[in-house]
Chain A
Amino acid sequence: MEIQVERRAAVAVLAIAGSVDGATAPALVAAFREEVGGGWIRIVGDFARVDYTSSAGLRALLETVKETRQRGGDLRLAAVQPEVRRVLDLAGFTGILKLYDGVDAAVASFGA
């Protein structure tokens, strides 16, 4: 798994590539925490190149949703692929996460 961070005005876009599982999720958690710790509470997760997630990835997402929303921000996902979307559905995450077709729409949703 690889993560690239790009700033767009007040929004941090994290482009994630690869599989999120018990081995790789700690790096994702760390990346999200670094953003929130640095005051970047409006985060877009670009999931276009994420081909898999297990519950380990879901933990990272929910923790970050809570941390950002409690500070008035949010974590929003863009371009979630069908295999990952299915896991979000099975876990009931599609009811709490905001999903967008692409990064531009997700960034724009913050009014940035």
Chain B
Amino acid sequence: MRVETTVAARVENLAEVRAFVERACAEAGADPRAASDLKLAVDEVCANIIEHGYPGRDDGAIGIACEDENGMLRVTVTDNGRSFSPEDIPKADTSSGWEERPVGGLGWHLIRRSVDDVDYRPDPVRGNRLTLVKRLPDQD
């Protein structure tokens, strides 16, 4: 199974992105928990692209491809916006008290926590490519 779509990089399209991932997960036989995790990760990836990749623009495009392979679902998200360095993203604070806890900065943390593998290949010429892999539990 391989399905792909392209959406305009606008926040009002995030719901459509999640619906697309949900349909792909259903087609791949993913359990609801895996589907929820993958939806969250793809939403966060796209929200980052919209906010940081195409800042102040609404003419950017985001490509999303879902494929299943050997009990895994792989989602590839592509864009032609600004790239980033994952190692420069500050570590999220998920443990301090409410007074010290900074507001925001959780998107990348949620992506890392909700899928099994994240691979990012920035490319200013051919476009940035971020791949998420979610292992699907045996359905037997």
Contact = CB atoms under 8 A, between A and B. Distances in A.
A62 interface: yes
B40 A54 contact: yes
B109 A96 contact: no
B59 to A, nearest CB: 18
Interface string B1-19: 0000000000110110010
B131 interface: no
B94 interface: yes
Interface on chain B toward A: helix, strand, loop, or mixed SS? helix
A54 B103 contact: no
Nearest to A93: B94
B113 A90 contact: yes
Contacts of B11: 21-23
Most buried by B among A19, A86, A91, A95: A91
Contact of B15 (A21, A63, A65, A66): A21
Contact-size category for A: 20 to 34
Contacts of B14: 21-23, 54
A22 B106 contact: no
A67 to B, nearest CB: 10
Contacts of B40: 54, 87
Interface residues of B, number: 31
Interface on chain A toward B: helix, strand, loop, or mixed SS? helix
A92 interface: yes
Contacts of B33: 86
25 contacts: A19-B15, A19-B18, A21-B14, A21-B15, A21-B18, A22-B51, A23-B11, A54-B43, A54-B107, A54-B110, A55-B47, A55-B104, A55-B106, A58-B106, A59-B104, A62-B103, A65-B98, A66-B98, A69-B98, A86-B33, A87-B40, A91-B106, A92-B93, A96-B97, A96-B101
The 6 residue pairs across chains A and B that have the minimum distance between CB atoms: A92-B94, A23-B11, A22-B11, A55-B106, A22-B47, A55-B107
Interface of A: 19, 21-23, 52, 54-56, 58-59, 62-63, 65-66, 69, 83, 86-87, 90-92, 95-96
Interface of B: 11-12, 14-15, 18, 33, 36-37, 39-40, 43-44, 47, 50-51, 92-95, 97-99, 101, 103-104, 106-107, 109-110, 113-114
Given A54-B110, A86-B37, 18 more contacts: A21-B15, A22-B11, A23-B14, A52-B39, A54-B44, A55-B44, A55-B106, A55-B107, A55-B110, A59-B104, A62-B98, A62-B103, A66-B98, A69-B98, A83-B36, A91-B109, A95-B95, A96-B101
